[in-house]
Structure 1
Amino acid sequence: MSIIEEKDVRGDGPVFKDISAEDDDMQPTVIESLCMNCYENGSTRLLLTKIPFFKEIIISSFTCSHCNWSNTEIQSAGRIQDQGVTYTLLVRSKDDLNREVVKADSATTRIPELDFEIPAFTQKGSLSTIEGLIERAAAGLEQEQPIRKATAPDVAEKIDEFIEKLKKLKEVEHEFTLVIDDPSGNSFVENPYAPQKDEALSVVHYKRTAQQDAQLGIKADEDAQEEEDGKPGGDIESLRNEVLVFNTNCPECNAPANTNMKLVQIPHFKEVIIMATNCDSCGHRTNEVKSGGATEELGTKITLHLTDPSDMSRDLLKSETCSVLIPELEFELGMAALGGKFTTLEGLLTDIKQLIVSKNPFACGDSGAPERAEKLQLFGKKIEQVIAGELDVHIILDDPAGNSYLQNVYAPDPDPEMKVEKYERTFEQNEDLGLNDMKTEGYQ
């Protein structure tokens, strides 16, 4: 017999009742409790209830009549689920702000558009709405603002600006995404159309890692680490949480050096591997970016019209197979040049200028004809004008492997100044990528 089927000792009703504001029988249990603020006795109210289409929960509320301190908390009345769960909600209107949300203390809350995250175990569990989560996050940031304004005014000013952005989300002037990731599987976001499917809400269940089991107290840290090291997927999972260091030789002086490697998830794109080498002997530094996924079925062509100097701060991933074109300057950079890079648009243009003007062997020495050097210097000035926003140009990233990326600052909405095209590769492009001779089926 499940706990839902057991009868309440005070009557014939179930222990957990569906949550409802109109049910007169839903009376909380009052318990005298010690106040951890003034150490006098206060009151804790416990309410055992069941959320429709979800599960049983325990809502607790503590109040102290002596110091007026209060605290609310929510706990799951069931066990930790077999799988973790991730809820991704696209908030499109103010009606979405009224959706009920159960956020367990083990859940991580993210708003990708603001690069905002509430880590797991930093807040107690709560039963609220989307609007309530935003207000609670803003209140938490405002709590230490008086101290910050006295000790770090610059930081306090930036946090004030961020709090205004957070509060502005409640107006829903633009769509935004709310992600709740809970490895315990006990968090919940309401589907107002249940049992029909909600097009704005995505629910994904996943298998917990050994580290997540350890965080939830299911396994000891030592057991979790042994399991993580022993399974094939453990090495990949650890890459997401740490920087790996391995020994190599400097490509310039051949002295022993270290290479740092990190697996990074780019929002609205895919995982990439960033590698950086630093030589202590000769000071040589190099960095490289590799795609963490396979070659895409279609090539990608990204065209951005530069209309504002702020475009220079857009994140950009240029794979080794990507070529860069600026039609207004009659400029094309081949796919092998500069290698793979994860930088900003300004960083890419700066690297292009250095490659063409500063590091060009045909612009200096005996090979440097005055006319050629003058043209290269003029090109460098035009690149500087592009970076400053003084020239109206288009930047085109053409990657037949489909592994390059340019940040959409309006995500998840389309960018009016950016065009992304998918296309079929030609035979020559497949030949350059080595795909024509690659056979994965029907071989002996």
Structure 2
Amino acid sequence: MSVISEENVRGGNVFKEIGADDGDWEPTEIESLCMNCYQNGTTRLLLTKIPFFKEIIVSSFSCPNCSWSNTEIQSAGRIQDQGVCYTLKVKTKQDLNREVVKSDSATTRIPELDFEIPPFTQKGALSTIEGLLDRAVAGLEQDQTLRRASHPEVAEKIDDFIQKLKTLKEVENEFTVVIEDPSGNSFVENPNAPQKDEALMVSRFKRTVQQDIQLGLRADDDEGLEEEPAANDLDAMRNEVLVFNTNCPECNAPASTNMKLVQIPHFKEVIIMATNCDSCGHRTNEVKSGGATEEQGTKITLHITDPSDMTRDVLKSETCSILIPELEFELGMAAVGGKFTTLEGLLKDIKDLIVSKNPFMCGDSSTTDRVQKLSDFGEKIDKIIAGEMDVHFVLDDLAGNSYLQNVYAPEPDPEMTVEKYTRSFEQNEELGLNDMKTEEYQEEKKELPAAAERTE
């Protein structure tokens, strides 16, 4: 039996990337019970790294007695800071070939059929849209023989529904697939990358207390216990750097995050959070707006004409989209999170996201055309940074909380335009503002002291 050596565990090499020269890195073998014939079989566990999933556990069971086998994938990486929801409009049969990473905490829905696969009812898998449909059909067909004998009416209804699922694979009519994952570890392929995918909408959300409990991030008795910050905490944060313990997003080693309130000249106050890992050297920073959502959205357009433009400071909030019209490129909200960096740093982050960290740039998921297309995009980004391409760089922030430095301040910048616009109903809905009411709340708050006096 092969086991993971103590030396590898101490050296932090439990999860290792698979390579051509890794013949000595064997999977762990465990004798386990076969659930088909109830005799002993063998389970092999391989702890490795693949794109997007980062650390994963590949589990493969085989039984020499009845030849039954089973393979599963489990994510061993960290739970992301926010949940993610992918909404895909399946319009052609090519959309069925989109690759999907679905974690076990993800909920899959097809609204047109009122069909839902709840979280933690299926194991995590690397599949396609067609594979998700086939997996759903296989699950419904599993006990149909018994149902036909004991509950023929129920079995007939399930047969009708199975036929509807199979019909979806013909794509005679457009349908929607929604994958909502509170852990943030699911993914749906964009075959048009780096261009925007018109059929795919990606949104990120803050987990509820119940979802934190499901993921094991809170104790069961923590529900409803939300502490409100003291009134003087904000003043204390302005004068000092707050430090709290966390884990590195790359190697999961203990690390510390520094948080500070910073006033940006000619703009507003923001919260900057920076994490440094002493174990692997990974560094990351994130920016949150310290102010309220502006009454209007902001669109900032910079005409990049000189390499010196790369030194401009940029504050990109989580509600800001990025456009480069000359490259037909658009990056949606929250794709690279909130950042306070330079224009060069932001462009490098975009290149890393689209090229270096793209899960479909390597391995079995890659194709020659896709790799070439994304490599060409990375080269164009390098040319923009080097000042060899004149392009327009656009920051479109629905909440109006993004900023691009004006090097001519307080005079107008001849290469930069700032437009204010009124948000549409759909844009307010995306920010959650349509259902947010504060007028009556303020009136009720003012009436509370008088009500309290009457009570006394």
Question: TM-score when scaled to structure 2?
Answer: 0.45
Higher gyration radius (CA): 1
Question: TM-score when scaled to structure 1?
Answer: 0.46
